[in-house]
């Protein structure tokens, strides 16, 4: 769960993402929330509810949002589904959620997000622990030109902006 400080940090990051150059917020916003299937069902549902409450508290921006839920698993692959924002808040979105401990790589997820979630103005990745990648070039290719600006990573140990992966990948 997010602490009060992390919740404030998430609000600030969301504001920065939404008001970044090239991120038009005049139209009905579209967003994606990616859940790592390594999270326990209860933890994923708690994160989902808390994220929905934080975003709703930010004003009218998220009243009429198109929500894309992405379930990130290795065995079943990456599943995309459109859901009502209220399902995230009431935890109905997690009815069929199954937790699995699997090895996954970020570059594969980002390739999928770049292809299928390009219209999303905000992408939140909720993961069990800091994720790994093997191919720096593939990671950079999938983060650029826009994904790193719209991505916020939420881990049990903290929150990071997607741009932090650009600098981490160059080291």
pLDDT average per 10 residues of sequence, the chain (171 residues): 94 91 72 95 95 91 88 87 91 92 90 92 91 88 91 93 76 44
Helix/strand/coil (H/E/C) assignment for every residue in 12-36: HHHHHHHCCCCCCCCCCCEEEEEEE
Query: Residue 98 phi/psi, 5° resolution?
Result: -125, 130
pLDDT of residue 20: 80
**Residue 21 tokens, joined:** 């150059």
CATH architecture entry for 4-170: 3-Layer(aba) Sandwich (3.40)
How far are the Cα atoms of 17, 20, 21, 34, 96 from residue 76, in angstroms, in the given order? Answer: 30, 34, 36, 15, 13
Distance CA 54, CA 73 (A): 26
pLDDT of residue 60: 82
pTM score of the predicted model? 0.92
Quote helix, strand, coil % in the chain, to nearest 5: 45, 20, 35
pLDDT of residue 26: 64
**Residue 43 tokens, joined:** 């933890």
Closest CA to 105 of 38, 170, 48: 38
Q: Where are the domains of the chain?
A: 4-170
């Amino acid at each position: 769960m997010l602490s009060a400080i992390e919740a404030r940090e998430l609000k600030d990051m969301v504001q920065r993402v939404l008001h970044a150059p090239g991120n038009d917020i005049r139209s009905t916003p579209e967003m994606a929330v990616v859940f790592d299937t390594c999270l326990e069902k209860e933890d994923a549902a708690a994160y989902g509810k808390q994220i929905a409450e934080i975003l709703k508290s930010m004003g009218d921006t998220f009243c009429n949002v198109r929500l894309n839920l992405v379930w990130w698993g290795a065995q079943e692959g990456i599943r995309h589904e459109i859901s009502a924002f209220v399902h995230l808040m009431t935890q109905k979105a997690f009815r069929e959620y199954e937790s699995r401990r699997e090895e996954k790589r970020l570059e594969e997820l980002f390739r999928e997000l770049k292809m299928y979630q390009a219209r999303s103005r905000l992408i939140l990745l909720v993961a069990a622990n800091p994720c790994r990648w093997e191919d720096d070039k593939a990671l950079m290719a999938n983060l650029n030109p826009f994904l790193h600006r719209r991505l916020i990573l939420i881990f049990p140990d903290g929150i990071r902006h997607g741009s932090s992966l650009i600098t981490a990948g160059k080291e």
